[in-house]
Structures are given as structure tokens and as C-alpha cells.
């Protein structure tokens, strides 16, 4: 590189100090798990049907099509207002009853309901050493505001807190239902 090119590059960098630091959102990842006293098959019988999320306390009602087949859909209603209230539409993209796991994506949600975009999640039940089960819920998503400088309610922190709250409420409900394993 000649001296003139170096000077021009340096001048451009000086004029645009934030340009080198500008970037879009980073994909967030969250994994939460809980141990319950019930055997995996018993836990899977409760949470393994993609069309039935009644085990989660935030879900008031739901509709869906396709059972547990790939591309099955469900809509989770989070209030008794039906379509007029907060809801989350999802599609199933992976299902394995033998391995007690399924994966789904959110296809539609208002960021006021859940401040995320491009959300995908995996729910898995495995045997726990010493008896009982481990339920793992993990997800990957972007914050609700896709550009730089998000408002606080659509930031990475808000997205992580909201998804963490969803996972915690569901997993806590499973502990309440099945009990915690003996130490």
C-alpha cells in the first residue's frame, strides 16, 4: 500500500469513528434445565405433544394443526381474549418421540408480547442419573429491535429476561407437577 492510500484510509477512519464499531444485533442463546422426580416417559407424556402446551401456566388456550408432524402449527393464546389478545404462532420443524425432543420456531409474535425475532427453541427430556428426569429448554433468538441502539424494552437484555421468564415459568410448573428428585 502506498503512502497516499494509507493517508486516505486513515482520514476516512477518522471521519467515521463509529463506523468501525457499528454492527447489528447478536444472536442470543439461552439454555435452562430442571430436574424432576418423574421418569422421562411420564414427563414426555405431558410435554411431548406439540399441540398441547397446557402444562405451561402462561398458556390459556391453544389451537393447532398437524399433530407432531414436521410443519405442524400451533397458536398459543396468553389471555382469554382469543385472537384479540396476546398470542404466539409457532411451527414444528423437528420431532423425535424416541429421543423425547422437539424443535420449533416462532412464526408470529408481537414484540410487546415477547421482545424477540427469529426465535427457535428445543425442548428435550432425558433420564437423570439416580432416577427422575432432566428437562432442558434452549432457544436462540435476536432481540426485538433489529437495528442499532434499541430501546430498553427491545434490547438483548430484555429479550433474554423475557425468554428466561417463559422457560422458568414452564419448568417451575413441571417441578410443581412432578416434584423435585431426592438428592
- Contacts of residue 33, Cβ cutoff 8 Å, sequence gap at least 6: 134, 135, 136, 137, 171
What beta strand segments (E) does the chain contain? 28-36, 61-65, 73-77, 87-96, 101-109, 116-127, 133-143
Confidence at residue 86, expressed as pLDDT on a 0 to 100 scale: 93
Confidence at residue 87, expressed as pLDDT on a 0 to 100 scale: 96
Task: Print the domain residue range for 152.
Answer: 24-52+93-178
Is residue 82 a part of any domain in this protein? no
**Count of structural domains within the chain:** 1
CA atoms within 13 A on the CB side of 24: 7
What residues in the chain have per-residue pLDDT under 50? 5-20
Is residue 84 a part of any domain in this protein? no
Confidence at residue 5, expressed as pLDDT on a 0 to 100 scale: 43
Confidence at residue 10, expressed as pLDDT on a 0 to 100 scale: 47
Predicted TM-score (pTM) of the model is 0.84
Which residue's entry shows cell 430436574?
35
Confidence at residue 12, expressed as pLDDT on a 0 to 100 scale: 45
**CATH assignment of the domain containing 97:** 3.30.530.20
Confidence at residue 9, expressed as pLDDT on a 0 to 100 scale: 44
Return the C-alpha cell found at 82.
382469543
Is residue 62 a part of any domain in this protein? no
Residues 37 and 45: their CA atoms lie apart, in Å, by 14
Confidence at residue 2, expressed as pLDDT on a 0 to 100 scale: 54
Is residue 65 a part of any domain in this protein? no
Give the residues across from 76 on adjacent strands: 62, 88
Is residue 111 a part of any domain in this protein? yes
Amino acid at each position: 500500500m502506498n503512502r497516499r492510500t494509507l493517508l486516505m484510509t486513515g482520514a476516512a477512519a477518522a471521519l467515521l469513528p463509529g463506523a468501525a464499531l457499528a454492527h447489528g444485533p447478536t444472536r442470543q442463546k439461552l439454555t435452562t434445565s430442571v430436574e424432576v422426580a418423574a421418569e422421562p416417559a411420564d414427563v414426555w407424556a405431558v410435554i411431548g405433544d406439540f399441540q398441547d402446551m397446557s402444562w405451561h401456566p402462561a398458556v390459556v388456550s391453544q389451537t393447532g394443526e398437524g399433530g407432531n408432524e414436521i410443519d405442524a402449527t400451533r397458536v398459543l393464546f396468553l389471555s382469554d381474549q382469543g385472537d384479540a389478545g396476546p398470542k404466539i404462532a409457532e411451527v414444528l420443524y423437528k420431532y423425535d418421540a424416541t429421543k423425547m425432543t422437539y424443535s420449533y420456531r416462532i412464526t408470529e409474535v408481537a414484540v410487546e408480547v415477547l421482545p424477540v425475532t427469529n426465535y427457535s427453541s428445543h425442548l428435550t427430556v432425558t433420564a437423570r442419573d439416580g432416577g427422575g428426569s432432566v428437562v432442558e429448554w434452549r432457544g436462540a433468538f435476536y432481540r426485538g429491535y433489529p437495528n442499532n441502539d434499541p430501546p430498553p424494552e427491545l434490547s438483548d437484555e430484555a429479550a433474554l429476561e423475557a425468554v428466561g421468564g417463559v422457560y422458568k415459568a414452564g419448568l417451575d410448573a413441571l417441578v410443581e407437577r412432578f416434584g423435585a428428585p431426592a438428592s
